[in-house]
Chain A
Amino acid sequence: MTSPSSTTSHKPNPSGKQIVVRQLQKSFNGNTVLNDFSLEIDQSEIVCLIGPSGSGKSTLLRTLNGLTPVDGGEIEVCGIRVNDPQVDLLALRRRIGLIFQSYNLFPHLSVLDNITLAPTSVLNEPIEQARDYARELLCKVKLEHKADAFPGQLSGGQQQRVAIARSLAMRPDVMMFDEVTAALDPETVKEVLNTIRDVAASGMTCLIVTHEMQFARDIADRVFFTDHGRVVEQAPPEQLFSAPQDPRTRRFLENCL
């Protein structure tokens, strides 16, 4: 894949980091979900978040693009301070793609229209140009023959790949994947993971929440283990999976490997 970020103007970040999260606090109705959560991600880095359900991984992704407001701490994505009250959320979201577990394609639009909707309405791309790029992206997720299908006619794996193409059409700088294979049957998991591999190989900064340990081990530059809303341990995958330092990480990995 050609680098999608080459077409967007890139604001250099003073720290040289694509994503900076510091001491993030978030609770829902007195239930602490993120507790002093910090992480930093370089440009083109592939980071996987693993950990038990309810450890705040999904909430973290949602705070990064402003879907969920935070109670405290700092977030900076692509040089945009997300928790600034004056933040231009639309400009922020143009630069981060978020892929959901439940795909969330627009059921009333064809695959092609799903992909061209945001570029034509947000970036004011001419429709022909948007369609050409959408077809190109569909080729990359190996669904070029489904351009005129509707989401309801596709399998879960196909829908998820369309969702990825739809996000890429905005030429984001960062892609976030929120347990994107959790709702899929084992056979289709692979095709989606391969698509993510292609995206990662294109030099895109990727933040991936996953329960697929082998996948995390293969793809990640760094793996974060989270529990109870904080980072317990972070390391390159070989180190984290072979020689986890924290007893909590060890226990988790023993249970799922």
Chain B
Amino acid sequence: MNTLVTTMPLRSSSPHLLRWLQPTPMKILALAVLTWAGSWILDHRDVIVLMVRWLPALFEGFLVNIGIGVVSVVLATLLGLLLGAMQVSPRPLLARPARVFTLFFRNAPWLVVIFFMMYLIPFEVQLFGTYYQLPDWIKVALGLSLTASGYAAEIVRGGIQSIPLAQWEAAASLGLDRRQILRKVVLPQALRSMLPAWMNLYCTVTMGTALASLLGIEDLMTTMQLRLAAESRPELLLPGYLFVFLVFFFYIYPISRLSKTLERKWSLHD
């Protein structure tokens, strides 16, 4: 690598490589961390072996997190669409309850709502004569979706209000009713401004799924906790939870970056 750099005419042929090699505080920090991590791994090869052996179980645990996240964000989106559309209604009978609901759940602590849902929802429901057991992770997803729906409603409301009034008037002049205008004219245009914020909400909800571990659901956190407890080696705690952190980070960071990119790109064109 070094010889390549020195023998090549740097300025003309590889400006990218040159820029990449230029030291910045971030890069120096990253290098230090990597060096430290590398030496730590070399010293603790048994920890790595252990983690690799745990990997399938941890992966299954993370799938639970993703499942909870996806289900709650889908439910939150549906509920948020309804609440957001109600909030912009000219009828106070629709708008006011939606505003109160949104305000309440946006200001409710996530964990508290989840605990409430956990004990509020019966452990089985009767549907068409047969009993279905509700798995705990569904209850957590329901709890998360309630709080997230408050945020989703705000995203929808903001998106709807970003569309100029002239679009409403043009559609109304053609004889469309309010619901048709919302569904066919305003919301399709608002989706664009809503998507980045919605992706951020998905990231937040996914991070929130770690709360499920407090209710004994076997997600990534719980799986790691159980394994660590079984080993009872204190020096494993830090790398163990660092691993959990990294899994969440590498799942969420790309989504968050994409949402930032979309936001910048779309705001330029409008």
**Interface residue tally for chain A (C-beta within 8 Å):** 25
Docked CA distance A40–B189 (Å) = 39
Q: Are A100 and B172 in contact (CB under 8 A)?
A: no
A91, A93, A106, A163: the one contacting B185 at CB < 8 Å is A106
- In contact, B184 and A117 (Cβ under 8 angstroms): yes
User: Is A104 in the interface zone, CB < 8 Å from B?
Assistant: yes
In the complex, what residue of chain B is closest to A176 when comparing beta carbons?
B173
Contact (Cβ within 8 A) B173 A98: yes
On whether the beta carbons of A100 and B180 are closer than 8 Å, the reply is: no
Instruction: Tell me, yes or no, whether A118 is within 8 Å of chain B by CB.
Output: yes
Number of interface residues of B (CB under 8 A): 16
Contacts of A93 in B (CB 8 A): 172-175
Taking a contact as CB atoms under 8 Å apart, the answer to whether B189 and A67 are in contact is no
Q: Which residue of B lies closest to A123 (CB)?
A: B175
Q: B166 to A104, Cβ gap below 8 A?
A: yes
| With A100-B166, A104-B169 as contacts: A121 and B189 at CB distance below 8 Å | no
> A167, B166: Cβ atoms under 8 Å?
no
Q: Which of A89, A91, A167 contacts B174 (CB 8 A)?
A: A167
Q: A156 CA to B125 CA in the complex, in Å?
A: 59
- Chain B residues whose CB sits within 8 angstroms of the CB of A166 once the complex forms: 174
Max chain B Cβ within 10 angstroms of own Cβ: one of A104, A107, A122, A163: A104
Contacts A107-B189, A108-B189, A121-B184 known; A170 to B175 CB distance under 8 Å? Answer: yes
A window 85-114: CB within 8 A of B: 89-91, 93-94, 96-98, 100, 102, 104-108
CB-nearest residue of chain B to A89: B172
Contact B176 A118, beta carbon cutoff 8 Å: yes
CB pair B169–A67 under 8 Å, yes or no, is: yes
A65 within 8 A of B: yes
Choice from A90, A100, A106, A170 contacting B177 with Cβ under 8 Å = A90
**Chain B residues with Cβ under 8 A from A97's Cβ?**
173
Q: Which residues of B contact A105 (CB under 8 A)?
A: 170
Distance in angstroms between the alpha carbons of A163 and B68 in the assembled complex: 47
Who on chain B is nearest to A103 by CB? B170
B169, B170, B172: the one within 8 Å of A106 (CB)? B170
* A107, B167: Cα distance in complex, Å: 9
A122 to B189, CA, bound (A): 20
Q: Could you tell me the distance between the alpha carbons of A96 and B169 in the complex, rounded to whole angstroms?
A: 13
Contact assessment for B188 and A170 in the assembled complex, using a CB-CB cutoff below 8 Å: no
B189 vs chain A, min Cβ distance (A): 5
Q: How distant is the Cα of A4 from the Cα of B189 in the complex, in angstroms?
A: 31
Across-interface contacts of B185 in A (CB, < 8 A) = 106, 117
Q: Which residue of A lies closest to B269 (CB)?
A: A152
Q: Determine the chain B residues whose CB is within 8 A of the CB of A106 once the complex forms.
A: 167, 170-171, 185, 189
With A102-B166, A106-B167, A122-B180 known to touch, is A117 a contact of B174 (CB < 8 Å)? yes
Chain A, residue nearest B190 (CB): A108
Which residues of the other chain, A, contact B175 by a CB distance below 8 angstroms?
90-91, 93-94, 118, 122, 170
Distance in angstroms between the alpha carbons of A118 and B172 in the assembled complex: 10
Which of B177, B184, B188 has the most CB atoms of chain A within a 10 A radius of its CB? B184
The reply to whether A104 and B167 form a contact with Cβ atoms under 8 Å apart is yes
What residue in chain B is nearest A120 (Cβ atoms)?
A: B184
Residues of A within 8 A of B173 (CB): 65, 67, 93, 96-98, 167
How many whole Å from B167's CB to the nearest CB in chain A?
6
For the complex, give the distance between the alpha carbons of A59 and B189 in Å.
Answer: 27
* Residues on B with beta carbons closer than 8 Å to the beta carbon of A121: 176, 180, 184
Q: Mark B156-181, 1 if CB is under 8 A from A, else 0.
A: 00000000001101111111110010
Contact A122 B174, beta carbon cutoff 8 Å: yes
Residues in B with CB closer than 8 Å to A163 are: 170
A199 to chain B, nearest CB (A): 16
A sample of 17 inter-chain contacts (CB < 8 A) reads A67-B172, A89-B172, A90-B175, A90-B177, A102-B166, A104-B167, A104-B169, A104-B170, A108-B188, A108-B189, A118-B171, A118-B176, A121-B180, A122-B175, A163-B170, A167-B173, A170-B175
Q: A65-B173, A121-B184 are in contact. List 10 more A-B contacts (CB 8 A).
A: A67-B172, A91-B175, A96-B173, A100-B169, A104-B166, A105-B170, A108-B189, A117-B184, A122-B180, A167-B173
Closest 5 CB pairs of A and B: A104-B170, A118-B174, A94-B175, A98-B173, A93-B175
- Name A's B-contacting residues (CB within 8 A): 65, 67, 89-91, 93-94, 96-98, 100, 102, 104-108, 117-118, 121-122, 163, 166-167, 170
